[in-house]
Structure 1
Amino acid sequence: MNKVLVACAGSGKTTHIVDEAMKVNGNVLITTFTDNNTDEILNKFIKKYGYKPANITILPWFSFQLEHLIRPFQLSFIDVRIKDIIMQNGKNFNRYKSDQKGYYLCGEAIYSDKIAFLAFKTLNTNELTYNRLKCIFDYIFIDEFQDFSGYDLEIVKHLANKGMNIEIVCDPRQHTFSTHYSLKNHKYSSEPLKYIEENCLSFFKIDENTLNGSYRCPQNTIRYASEIFPNFPQSNSNKLYEDGDGIIFVKTSDVASFLSKTPSIIQLRDSKKTLVNPKYPVSTFGKSKGITVENAIIYPTKPMLESIMKKDFSELKSKSDLYVALTRAKHKTAIIVPDKDYEKFNCIISHIDSYLI
């Protein structure tokens, strides 16, 4: 049966996908949401095996839909070869109907928020689309499934229902982007795993154990981060603890000193509006997803601080951002707090460090 593996931060999911792909006796497609992750998967093949086998194809999800679902048997009203993608940050509204070319295209470029709909429409209309895909690939690995939405989910369900061999890797705790914004399956827009649970359990088995150990984060860090999402099994660390590893709180007045004394550190913030020290590397919470650093310092939002103080994350809207920020570092993760509240926050350390016992 096809599998959905639920991964925690730093669990080695890229290594898992690469290793499993190498075992397949046949042609393999590995597809993932972002170009950065596509590059990371390719680099993992090179680093671990010295090459990428010719039977393995790696494509971003948009490119896969375009090359293998839309172009081969284009619907009759699409009378041009689609050559480019126009990236949309939100939903693109236009005056055309869904059976007209202008609904999807501007010239020879397709709107990114219409790719999945057109791909599903083509897949559902012409049996040759699936037959061709099945002739080309024996096995499909899908990474970053936590960012899938709308008709992407319908495509995955359709392929699995038709008999395609699929393995999905998903970390629902790290949902920081979406492939597009669609009214289709809107209630699953931030919970694609729930879509699988409610619509696809006859095609997929959910595995919450294989990738639930972190090779990046210390035990006290990954266990504390697990508290943000209590509905998932608590994760554990697979790395050796070193003295001083874990989460600490730093006064606002001590940030400059902490940065100067802590090697290989990155600053993490919600957006560019948050002022940081220009002398040190910086990233937003969302863009830091997937990276591993030695040490990190977090500029938390007010709601994040309130949730940490209350030890209750149920009302926090940016749960995934906080989870991502907490789980980037191999050693120290510092959270900046107001000087006047430092002692209150520092009392939480004993709770966090209790996970080391």
Structure 2
Amino acid sequence: MDKRVIFAVAGSGKTTYIVDSLSRDKRSLIVTYTVGNYNNLCSKISEKFNGEWPENIWVMGYFTFLYRFCYKPFLADKLKARGIFYEKNPNNRLRQCDKAYYITSTGYIYSNRLALLIENTGSMEGLKRRLEKYFDEFIIDEIQDIAGRDFSFLEQLMTTNINMLFVGDFYQHTYDTSRDGNANKNLFDNFASYEARFISCGFLSDKTSLVKSWRCSPSICRFITENLGIEIYSNQNTEMNGEASDIIFISEQAQIDNILANPNIVKLHFRNSSKYGSGHRNWGDTKGEDHYQDVCVMLNKTTATKYTAGNLSELAPSTRNKLYVAITRAHGKVYLINE
């Protein structure tokens, strides 16, 4: 079996790579977490096949896959759950042998324990056979979103006897499918240990196929590599683009006012962007978006201090990742402004 995990960079064409690999000759199941990426996949697949959706290709959101494909065939008749409850169980004293550990009093399964429920009810071997029966390959887009109990669940599925392709950007980990206590709490602390989890399950690690960004200019890629410690290169030609793309710190008030007043430049904040109105977004919330020309990244106090000292690499991993997402949204210029 061909089992690979491709570690990509922002703007390198992750979704396009997956869609290009699809054909009418193999049964493919594609799973992704965010709604935006689900819609993007569906749009590109429809375009590839001239508006006709092939019957052999299935795209599912992660929890749709977990509930409909993994839970229902094995446990629906027995547990009769009514759906998924997207909140954590507030009672931490329950044991895993208690039904209430997984299911609310009104019959909904806690989203962060659905995968564990499937594991602990002895359904995994049957689930693997089910995957083998209906599909030739299992693909996950934005693999870095799979976290908590869900990653342990996925590790068990990795031994299924079908081809697998997982694609994602480790440093764009800004969302989690779930969190549950200390379960895989340190999964994203270190890239080498994260990569090793896949290798130990028989996966080949590919760190070269999608290492160049079609979106970001050479100067932006260089800034990210040198300041955030994230290795990223550009597919763009520096001489062709000239000064069309760059990353600039703005300190003059007149320039700041012009940028803030420009409705064509999105303003990205660390958090609480909603209080500024339309045209303002949070850094991490723009993950997967590809329609911005110029971007204004508002630096919060901590990030601005680190930037001035030349120590952006010392940011907390979650902050660094969100800043990376924000900077890499731009096809053109990136303006850095103290918030």
TM-score bin, normalised by smaller chain: 0.7 to 0.9
The TM-score normalised by the length of structure 1 is 0.83
Report the Cα distance in structure 1 between the residues aligned to 2:226 and 2:25, rounded to whole angstroms.
40
Matches within 5 A, 1:158-197: 158-182=156-180, 183-189=182-188, 194-197=193-196
Report the Cα distance in structure 1 between the residues aligned to 2:234 and 2:271, rounded to whole angstroms.
30
**Which residue number corresponds to residue 257 of structure 2?**
256
Report the Cα distance in structure 1 between the residues aligned to 2:226 and 2:146, rounded to whole angstroms.
24
**Which residue number corresponds to residue 305 of structure 1?**
304
Report the Cα distance in structure 2 between the residues aligned to 1:119 and 1:189, rounded to whole angstroms.
24
Matched residue type, 1:140: F
Matches within 5 A, 1:287-302: 287-292=285-290, 293-302=292-301
Matched residue type, 1:7: A
The TM-score normalised by the length of structure 2 is 0.88
Checking the alignment, whether the CA contact within 8 Å between 1:148 and 1:192 is kept in structure 2 is no
* Secondary structure of 1:72's aligned partner: helix
Matched residue type, 1:205: L
* Secondary structure of 1:186's aligned partner: coil
Relative to structure 1, is the Cα distance of residues 252 and 175 closer, same or farther in structure 2, using a 3 angstrom cutoff?
farther
Report the Cα distance in structure 2 between the residues aligned to 1:258 and 1:286, rounded to whole angstroms.
21
Relative to structure 1, is the Cα distance of residues 17 and 43 closer, same or farther in structure 2, using a 3 angstrom cutoff?
same
**Which residue number corresponds to residue 337 of structure 2?**
336
Is 175-184 or 158-167 further displaced after alignment? Answer: 158-167
Report the Cα distance in structure 1 between the residues aligned to 2:190 and 2:148, rounded to whole angstroms.
11
Matches within 5 A, 1:137-176: 137-176=135-174
Matches within 5 A, 1:43-122: 43-51=43-51, 52-74=53-75, 78-80=78-80, 82-88=81-87, 92-93=90-91, 96-106=94-104, 107-122=106-121
* Secondary structure of 1:227's aligned partner: helix
Report the Cα distance in structure 1 between the residues aligned to 2:169 and 2:268, rounded to whole angstroms.
20
* Secondary structure of 2:84's aligned partner: strand
Matched residue type, 1:2: K
> What are the Cα deviations for residues 283-317 of structure 1, in whole angstroms up to 9, with x where unaligned?
11111111120111011112211222222233201
Is 249-258 or 3-12 further displaced after alignment? Answer: 249-258
CA RMSD of aligned residues (A): 2.5
Report the Cα distance in structure 2 between the residues aligned to 1:126 and 1:198, rounded to whole angstroms.
19
Shift of 1:180: 1.0
* Secondary structure of 1:161's aligned partner: coil
Figure out how many residues of one structure are paired with residues of the other and give that number. Answer: 329
Q: Which runs of 5+ in 1 are unaligned?
A: 339-357
Matched residue type, 1:237: N
Report the Cα distance in structure 2 between the residues aligned to 1:273 and 1:284, rounded to whole angstroms.
6
Relative to structure 1, is the Cα distance of residues 194 and 49 closer, same or farther in structure 2, using a 3 angstrom cutoff?
farther
**Which residue number corresponds to residue 8 of structure 2?**
7
Q: Which runs of 5+ in 2 are unaligned?
A: none
Shift of 1:186: 1.9
Checking the alignment, whether the CA contact within 8 Å between 1:29 and 1:141 is kept in structure 2 is yes
Checking the alignment, whether the CA contact within 8 Å between 2:28 and 2:137 is kept in structure 1 is yes
> What are the Cα deviations for residues 242-295 of structure 1, in whole angstroms up to 9, with x where unaligned?
4241111222723221244x573111011226864x4x5121111111112011
Report the Cα distance in structure 2 between the residues aligned to 1:126 and 1:204, rounded to whole angstroms.
19
Matched residue type, 2:266: I
* Secondary structure of 2:73's aligned partner: coil
Matches within 5 A, 1:168-247: 168-182=166-180, 183-189=182-188, 194-198=193-197, 200-230=199-229, 233-238=231-236, 240-247=240-247
Shift of 1:208: 0.9
Matched residue type, 1:31: V
Report the Cα distance in structure 2 between the residues aligned to 1:315 and 1:178, rounded to whole angstroms.
22
Report the Cα distance in structure 2 between the residues aligned to 1:9 and 1:34, rounded to whole angstroms.
16
Shift of 1:189: 4.7
**Which residue number corresponds to residue 316 of structure 1?**
315
Matched residue type, 1:256: D
Relative to structure 1, is the Cα distance of residues 192 and 145 closer, same or farther in structure 2, using a 3 angstrom cutoff?
farther
Relative to structure 1, is the Cα distance of residues 268 and 186 closer, same or farther in structure 2, using a 3 angstrom cutoff?
same
**Which residue number corresponds to residue 355 of structure 1?**
none
Checking the alignment, whether the CA contact within 8 Å between 2:269 and 2:298 is kept in structure 1 is yes
> What are the Cα deviations for residues 122-152 of structure 1, in whole angstroms up to 9, with x where unaligned?
4x54532221221011101111111221222
Is 100-109 or 162-171 further displaced after alignment? Answer: 100-109
Report the Cα distance in structure 2 between the residues aligned to 1:45 and 1:110, rounded to whole angstroms.
32
Shift of 1:99: 2.5
Checking the alignment, whether the CA contact within 8 Å between 1:218 and 1:331 is kept in structure 2 is yes
Shift of 1:12: 0.8
> What are the Cα deviations for residues 49-95 of structure 1, in whole angstroms up to 9, with x where unaligned?
3233211110011111111221111188x521x3422112x564355
Shift of 1:238: 3.4
* Secondary structure of 2:285's aligned partner: coil
**Which residue number corresponds to residue 20 of structure 2?**
19
